[in-house]
Amino acid sequence: MDFVRDDVNVIFLTGNHDDLLRKFSGFKTQNLQLADKLVLQLNNGKRAWIFHGDVFDLSIQYGRWLAKLAGKSYDWLIAMNRMINFMLSKIGQGKISLAQKIKFSVKKAVKFIRDFESMAADHAIDHGYDYVICGHIHYPQIKTMTNSKGSVTYLNAGDWVENLTSLEYDKGQWRLYYYQKDETGYLNQDEQEDETLKALVYEDFKQIYTVL
């Protein structure tokens, strides 16, 4: 709303955590618009398809009560996480993300991420988009994905709660911003892929194989 007040054009794309707003999809004022998805024609002639991503989550599409329960549980987990991090900061310890640890503590969670990315990329390729941009799974990523019909650049913004990441587009280039990385906060695409791979291999997969 601060952006709206400052006359910045804002398009709010709804997701599963603000499902009630989807009743008002299409609502538009002078510089605020509610939408479920957006296709942007970029200056370089390429098209970007932007949406939240829960449309590919079958547990949400076909289990509304389960989705609501999961949403409430996630909100509770984030609130508890804030309290824990507050106490950790008081004793000079670094912050932790409970949600991230839970998500990547089981093999099925990692498979879900890979399946989600593949479904989004396949759908984007079928419709001739150059970029597919989403969130939902909270896993920051920029990478090229290819199937038998073509290729697309897949981008996931992560989130500003657990990962402290955001996607930015400037001068024809997409970048992932990491709040706690360095003085610039930016990594190039190769560094981004290396960073996420390291996070999986050295932390999450290590825990998974230890359990197995």
Q: Does 141 map to a domain?
A: yes
The per-residue pLDDT string of the chain (212 residues; one tens digit each, 9 = 90 and over) reads: 899 999 999 999 998 888 788 889 999 998 999 999 999 999 888 999 999 988 776 544 444 544 555 556 666 667 777 787 778 787 887 776 666 665 555 445 667 778 889 989 999 999 999 999 999 888 899 999 999 999 999 999 998 887 889 998 888 889 998 887 655 666 555 555 555 544 443 344 333 333 33
The pair of structure tokens assigned to 123 is 């759908």
Q: Does 4 map to a domain?
A: no
Q: Does 25 map to a domain?
A: no
Residue with tokens 């987990």: 77
**DSSP 8-class letter at 94:** P
Closest to 185 measured CA to CA, from 207, 163, 204, 209:
163
Q: Does 17 map to a domain?
A: no
* Pairwise CA distance, residues 129 & 136, whole Å: 20
Q: Does 26 map to a domain?
A: no
Cα radius of gyration rounded to whole Å, the chain: 18
Q: Is 125 left (phi over 0), alpha (psi -120 to 50) or beta?
A: alpha
Domain around 161: 36-211
Determine contact, residues 124/135, Cβ cutoff 8 Å: no
Q: Does 7 map to a domain?
A: no
Query: How many CB atoms within 10 Å of residue 29?
Result: 9
pLDDT (0 to 100) of residue 212:
33
pLDDT (0 to 100) of residue 87:
81
Q: Does 5 map to a domain?
A: no
Per-residue pLDDT tens digits for 45-99: 899 999 998 877 654 444 454 455 555 666 666 777 778 777 878 788 777 666 6
**How many structural domains is the chain composed of?**
1
pLDDT (0 to 100) of residue 35:
94
Q: Does 49 map to a domain?
A: yes
